[in-house]
């Protein structure tokens, strides 16, 4: 069963939500129920792919073992590095095998599972997570609404939700909002994204028709793809958020009107928010902190250079995480360079003087959107199709 697309998924989801509503509205905790529902859902997910299911179970056992081991000695640097490498290793293996088209230990959801598992390890080492019961840990990493593609929740927030006592009214509000989100997400993904996908027709650059016509066709293709990607993923994210709310978990929001972004930094605070904030907190800030501590860059430009290098590395990793292909790596590099360039631009006198003005904001919005859709054309492989030719 595929999550958020098969009819059978929605039937099981409806049954699960009915049960949650009865429990929640009578003021009972949804922790045990939600955990059991997640187990049932994951069994359904992997029913047709038992090998994947086996790898998923093995990964969960490994991640759980690593987290529990580190919690017993959180300050040990050696243990931290070992558990971190062990937790990341399967995903790296999957990505490398994927790039070489070799069958591997991959299973649906491994990328997102790795994010959640790594967050617990890093925050345990930082002393922010002292203990997490086995049930809370397993529920957090295997929470079915966000299992396959996020949004990427944070464990301390998640566990707080599990143990919160909610009044009937409070839960009723969450349930209502959850159901609305699921319905709105269905419209996004199954109606709007489906129509857009029908219009999406990427082709190699045809030199027999006038250049102008071909250019218009390519630009239109890039726009259709970008809009499709938004409605498909934002729709999925809304449904995942909605299912979470019905189970009493305030799954964080993943999109905030990304096409209203007035600059590229603003865009990443609106597009796939949980991913970009995860990378900001666990990659960018830590990398930048190490560079500042060791004075990697010196002089007047040290600050700018540090943040630029950390940004490019951060976004390259984001690209690599999507897949080790030229398209994804270039997509990551492209956004890293754009962010680094914006970092410089935002320090200029011109920017400081004009960035609040209406004209500046309009022009900046327009330019940002063109850059964003060019990025989507890289991501979708449209650019490489054009470069390679038919």
Partner 1 sequence: MTTMTHEELESRMLDLLEDICLLDSMAAVELLVSIEDEFGVSIAPTEVPRNEMNTVNLIIEQVEKRMA
Residues that bind partner 1 (CB under 8 A): 122-123, 126-128, 154, 265, 280-282, 284-286, 288-289, 292-293, 303, 306-307, 310, 343
CB of 152 to partner 1, least distance (A): 13
CB of 310 to partner 1, least distance (A): 8
Nearer to partner 1, 31 or 272 (CB): 272
Nearer to partner 1, 264 or 310 (CB): 310
Nearer to partner 1, 88 or 283 (CB): 283
The structure tokens listed for 104 are 């591997």
Q: Is the separation of the CB atoms in 97 and 103 below 8 Å? A: yes
300-319 burial, b at 16+ Cβ within 10 Å, e below that, comes to eeeeebbbbbbbbbbbbebb
User: How big is the CA angle at 60 (ends 127 and 17), to the nearest 5 degrees?
Assistant: 95
The structure tokens listed for 84 are 């971190």
Q: Is 50 exposed, middle or buried (0-12, 13-18, 19+ CB in 10 A)?
A: exposed
CB of 330 to partner 1, least distance (A): 24
User: How big is the CA angle at 221 (ends 217 and 225), to the nearest 5 degrees?
Assistant: 175
Handedness of CA 153, 157, 160, 166 (dihedral sign): negative
Nearer to partner 1, 270 or 303 (CB): 303
Q: Which stretch of DSSP H or E encloses residue 124?
A: helix 110-125
322 is an active site residue: yes
CB of 185 to partner 1, least distance (A): 27
The structure tokens listed for 357 are 């003005």
CB of 292 to partner 1, least distance (A): 5
Distance from first CA to last CA of the chain, Å, rounded?
36
Q: Given 322, 335, 354, 355, which residue is catalytic? A: 322
Look up tokens 């990964």; give the residue.
Answer: 59
Nearer to partner 1, 267 or 284 (CB): 284
Catalytic residues: 322
């Amino acid at each position: 069963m595929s999550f958020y697309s098969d009819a059978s998924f929605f039937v099981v989801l409806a049954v699960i939500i009915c049960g949650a509503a009865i429990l929640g509205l009578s003021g009972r905790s949804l922790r045990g129920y939600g955990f059991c529902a997640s187990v049932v859902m994951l069994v359904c997910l992997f029913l047709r792919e038992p090998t994947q299911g086996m790898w998923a179970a093995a990964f969960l056992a490994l991640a759980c073992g690593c987290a529990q081991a580190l919690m017993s000695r959180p300050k040990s640097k050696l243990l931290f590095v070992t558990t971190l490498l062990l937790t990341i290793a399967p995903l790296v293996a999957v990505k490398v095998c994927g790039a070489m088209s070799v069958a591997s230990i991959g299973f649906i959801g491994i990328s997102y599972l790795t994010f959640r598992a790594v967050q617990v390890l890093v925050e345990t080492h930082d002393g922010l997570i002292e203990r997490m019961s086995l049930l809370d840990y397993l529920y957090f990493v295997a929470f079915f609404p966000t299992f396959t593609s996020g949004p990427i929740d944070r464990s301390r927030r998640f566990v707080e939700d599990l143990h919160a006592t909610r009044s009937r009214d409070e839960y009723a509000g969450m349930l209502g909002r959850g159901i609305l989100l699921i319905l709105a997400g269905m419209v996004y993904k199954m109606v709007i994204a489906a129509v857009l996908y029908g219009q999406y027709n990427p082709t190699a650059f045809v030199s027999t028709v006038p250049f102008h016509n071909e250019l218009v066709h390519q630009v239109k293709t890039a726009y259709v793809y970008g809009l499709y990607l938004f409605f498909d993923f934002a729709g999925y994210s809304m449904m995942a958020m909605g299912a979470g709310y019905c189970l009493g978990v305030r799954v964080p929001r993943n999109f905030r009107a990304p096409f209203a972004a007035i600059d590229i930094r603003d865009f990443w605070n609106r597009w796939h928010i949980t991913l970009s904030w995860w990378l900001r907190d666990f990659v960018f800030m830590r990398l930048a902190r190490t560079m500042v501590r060791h004075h990697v860059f010196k002089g007047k430009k040290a600050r700018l250079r540090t943040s630029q290098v950390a940004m490019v590395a951060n976004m390259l990793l984001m690209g690599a995480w999507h897949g080790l292909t030229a398209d994804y790596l270039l997509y990551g590099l492209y956004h890293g360079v754009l962010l680094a360039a914006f970092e410089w631009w935002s320090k200029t006198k011109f920017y400081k003087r004009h960035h609040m003005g209406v004209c500046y904001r309009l022009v900046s919005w327009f330019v940002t959107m063109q850059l964003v859709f060019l990025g989507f054309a890289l991501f979708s492989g449209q650019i490489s199709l054009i470069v390679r030719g038919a």
